[in-house]
Amino acid sequence: MHKFLPVLILLVITSFNLFAQNLEIDSLLRANIPEKEKVDALNQTAFQYLSYDSINTAKYANQAISLAEKIKYTEGVADAYYAIGWVTMVFGHNTEALDIFSKVLNISVASTYLKGQANAHNGLGDANRNMGNYTESLDHHLQALKLRESFGDKNRVASSLNNIGIIYYAQKEYSKALEYYTKGLELRIESGDQRQIAVSYNNIGIVYVAQQDFQKALDYYKKCLEINLAIGNKADVARNYHNIGVVYVDHIKDYNLGQEYYFKALSVYQELGDKGSMTYPLIGIGLAYIMTDDLINARKYILEGIKLSEEAKLLSNLNEGLKGLALIEEKAGNYKAAYLAHVRYKELSDRLINEEQTRELDLKEAEFKFQIERDSIEMEKVAILDELKRERIVQYTSFGGVAILLTLLVILYQFYKVKKKSNLALIAKNEEIKSHRDELVKLNNAKTRFFSIISHDLRSPVNTFFGMFELISLHLHQKYQAHDDRELNDMIGLLKKAGNQLTTLLNNLITWALKEEGMMPYNPQVLNIHECLKENLTFIELQALSKHIQVELKADVNITAWADRNSFMTILRNLTSNALKFTPSGGTIILSAEKISDLVAIKIQDSGVGIPENKLTEIFEVNENKTTRGTEGEKGTGLGLNLVYDFVKLNKGDISVESTPGKGTTFAIELPTITSSI
């Protein structure tokens, strides 16, 4: 508990600071100060949120744009759009970010706003670098550097030098990268910004590793480590330990010293509770033990690294761990285990290669589209110039031009008369169509109302019938308690099954009618998915028991989603009812849920009869002809899956189905979390 106390205190302090900052901005906007100062304060707040809260960045930047445009403060507009460009780029939309940064550049050039021009070139440089357009990226960053040098902003000059170094490193021009990293370091030492000095030391160390000058790489890594230890930057301290360990193990081959730094990195990551980052030193330690033939410890750390990599979905680390495990088993003489590990390693390697190739193709496609858009703009410029030339010719044309114009006017007038006549005919036709449409709407509403009334009026007598049936059933069992009347029990079971089917039909009819009339209430809230799945199990336990079907629940107890409870329970009820209906005796149904990014994935999987491929395309439509009897002759209405589809969309989710005849069916639902719904 004690090791988490500093983290808790930091979270409380951070939350308090953000709350205080919001109050300060709100009070500032209400204060009687110049509007330009308000715009500058909004932009400054937007950039302070940029590294950890993109939503608030966009919020304050948009407020700044509205106010700046109102008072015609172009510098404020440019700064706000610069912040929005960064948010767009953070979410991976580099092409859209290019458009926004280009807009910032145009605004800044028009108003001779040098800082805005430098910012725009910096953003254009980073977006192009993300897309693999290194030539364009370098050009923009060099222009940003020149502008920032002109107005003496040393911190931003150092940042531009660092960005240029990154581009040269990506192009494997290590001497150039080292030159710019070193210039940036000198400026950062002048400014005294310890965190940025540490970043420069680390970048220079990376270049020396690429140049295979490992002693210099260690010198700079250790300088970086010394600063991060002094300022208490634990996450970077752990990364420094790991980088130093990599140099000792992979390059200098000093496995004992390398392990020493790996263990230090592991200790810090454990203290921070960062399980994903723990995989790096764990696998590194295991690989070092392999090189010293300590296979027992090697297997221990490699397996732990593999386990955490799978949990954190770190495929590259998992791949490295599988490679190490295959080597361990081979050295230990466990050739079957080595082969299995190698097969997994090879499959994952191929997958990673394919994903990398896909990313490269996406980057090339984006670059191609950008080139086309740029060419299109040039063509539009040429077209505009041609149009201006034509206008001049028209302006200098005398009588002949006037005559042509009069002729065109006569033609246009005739065209207008014809078009007017056509429009009148079209209006009349539209009125006729509207009349037919209104009649169809009335008929549809009457149909929906009819089903609603029928299902509501039937519910009361049906409930009375089932109440009387339960009393009669109880009386018969008491009266014939001493006799094993199998025929009577079968008849009672059939009546109960028919009753359950009728109740399900009425519930679906009422829900469908409410939905069609637009009266279905929608009250989204935070739902505990595990509790909802567990509650749903209580409705199907007896039916599953009677069919000898095993039902399994696999979901973390803390998984939550943002959805309407009534519609979500209707979704679960219909999908599990279908699973029971189409799963034969002795089968299995699995209800599972897991969190994927900012979505919750819920699956209802059965080992039933499956769905033919020709029926999958229309499975969510209302159609009596597509209903199928269950494994014990259970009937359906064709309404259930239509309700499921509409209610998933009502909750801003998606649904898909996969099925193999004879093997089973899986319905997969994705719902938003509270974070993604904001």
pLDDT in tens, 150-185: 988 888 899 999 999 999 999 999 999 999 999 999
- Reported as type and span, the H/E element at residue 502 is helix 486-516
Strand order in the sheet with 654-660: 550-555, 588-596, 599-606, 664-672, 654-660
**pLDDT digit string (tens) for 239-295?**
999 999 999 999 999 999 999 999 999 999 999 999 889 999 999 998 999 898 999
Averaged confidence pLDDT in the chain: 79
Query: Is it the case that residue 16 has pLDDT exceeding 60?
Result: no
Among 371, 394, 417, where does a domain finish? 394
User: Which residue is associated with the tokens 């440019």?
Assistant: 78
The Cα 644–Cα 630 span in angstroms is 19
In the numeric block, which tokens belong to residue 64?
Answer: 């700044």
Question: For the chain, percent helix, then strand, then coil, each to nearest 5?
Answer: 75, 5, 15
Q: What is the mean pLDDT of residues 354-361?
A: 54
Position 228 pLDDT exceeds 80: yes
Beta strands in 441-582 (DSSP E): 524-528, 550-555, 560-564
Residue 485 confidence class, pLDDT cut points 50, 70, 90: low
- CA torsion sign for 516, 518, 521, 522 is positive
Same domain, 509 and 539: no
Give the HSE-up count for residue 385: Cα atoms under 13 Å, Cβ half-sphere: 6
For residue 621, give the DSSP letter. S
607 within 8 A of 620, measured Cβ to Cβ: no
Rounded Cα–Cα distance for residues 676 and 597 (Å): 9
pLDDT at 496: 59
- Tell me which residue range forms the domain holding 415: 397-520
- Would the pLDDT of 210 be above 80? yes
Q: Is the pLDDT of residue 4 over 90?
A: no
SS3 (DSSP) at 661: coil
Q: Percentage of the chain with pLDDT > 70?
A: 72
Q: What angle do CA 557, 282, 319 make, to 5 degrees?
A: 80
Residues with Cβ < 8 Å from 429, sequence gap 6 or more?
A: none
Question: Mean pLDDT over residues 203-216, rounded?
Answer: 94
Same domain assignment for residues 499 and 530: no
pTM: 0.49
Please report the pLDDT score of residue 425 as a whole number.
75
Q: Which of 29-33, 249-253, 415-419, 540-544 has the largest mean confidence? A: 249-253
The answer on 415 and 368 residing in a single domain is no
Tokens found for residue 572: 């679960």
Tell me the pLDDT tens digit for each residue of 515-558: 565 556 788 999 999 999 999 888 788 788 878 899 999 999 99
Sequence-ordered strand ranges (E) for 212-280: none
Give the pLDDT band of residue 437 (cuts 50, 70, 90).
Answer: confident
Q: Are 673 and 600 in contact (CB under 8 A)?
A: yes
pLDDT score of 345: 75
Inside any domain, residue 28:
no
Residue 202: its pLDDT value, please? 95
Mean pLDDT of the region 637-657: 87
**Residue 185 within any structural domain of the chain:** no
| 658 bridge partner residues | 666
Answer yes or no: is 482 within a domain: yes
Check: CB of residue 667 under 8 Å from CB of residue 576: no
C-alpha to C-alpha distance for 551 and 588, rounded to whole angstroms: 6
Are 625 and 601 in contact, with CB atoms under 8 Å apart?
no
* Euclidean distance between CA atoms 121 and 444, whole angstroms: 59
State the DSSP code for 343.
Answer: H
Tell me whether residue 585 is exposed, middle or buried, using C-beta atoms within 10 angstroms of its C-beta: 0 to 12, 13 to 18, 19 or more: exposed
Same domain, 341 and 381: yes
Task: Answer whether residue 6 is part of any domain.
Answer: no
Last residue of a domain, one of 370, 394, 418: 394
pLDDT of amino acid 318? 86
Give the domain CATH number at 462.
Answer: 1.10.287
Q: Which two tokens stand for residue 458?
A: 């039937």
Give me the pLDDT at residue 372, please.
43
- Asked if residue 390 and residue 243 are part of one domain, the reply reads yes
- Output the domain CATH number for residue 623: 3.30.565.10
Confidence of residue 478 (pLDDT cuts 50, 70, 90): low
In a domain, 619, yes or no: yes
Same-domain pairing of 515 and 466: yes
Residue 442 and residue 506 share a domain: yes
- Regarding whether 540 and 515 lie in a shared domain, the answer is no
One domain for residues 622 and 490: no
pLDDT digit string (tens) for 87-120?
898 888 999 999 999 999 999 999 999 999 999 9
Kindly state the tokens that stand for 452: 């609603």
Q: What domain count does the chain have?
A: 3
Question: What is the C-alpha to C-alpha distance for residues 573 and 640, in angstroms, rounded to an integer?
Answer: 9
| Six-digit token string for 546 | 């009677």
Confidence of residue 2 (pLDDT cuts 50, 70, 90): very low
Query: Is 598 part of a structural domain of the chain?
Result: yes
370-389 residue pLDDT tens: 444 444 444 444 444 455 45
State whether 362 and 474 are in the same domain: no
Strand partners, 560: 528
Residue 600 is which amino acid?
V
Contact 366, 94 (CB under 8 A): yes
As a whole number of angstroms, the distance between CA 25 and CA 242 comes to 41
The domain boundary residue, chosen from 466, 495, 520: 520
Please state, in angstroms and rounded to a whole number, the distance separating the CA atoms of residues 578 and 606.
9
Determine the 3-state secondary structure of 169 from DSSP. helix
- DSSP-based three-state secondary structure for 633: coil
CA-CA distances (angstroms) from residue 107 to 110, 156, 159, 378? Answer: 5, 21, 23, 19
Across 22-26, 40-44, 189-193, least confident range: 22-26
Question: 460 and 403 share a domain?
Answer: yes
Q: DSSP letter at 639?
A: -
Q: Decide if 541 is inside a domain.
A: yes
In this predicted structure, the answer to whether residue 503 has a pLDDT above a threshold of 80 is no
Q: What is the DSSP letter of 678?
A: -
Answer whether residue 422 is part of any domain. Answer: yes
Is 453 in the same domain as 542?
Answer: no
Could you read off the pLDDT of 142-158 as tens digits, one per residue?
999 999 999 888 888 99
Beta bridge partners of 591: 553, 604
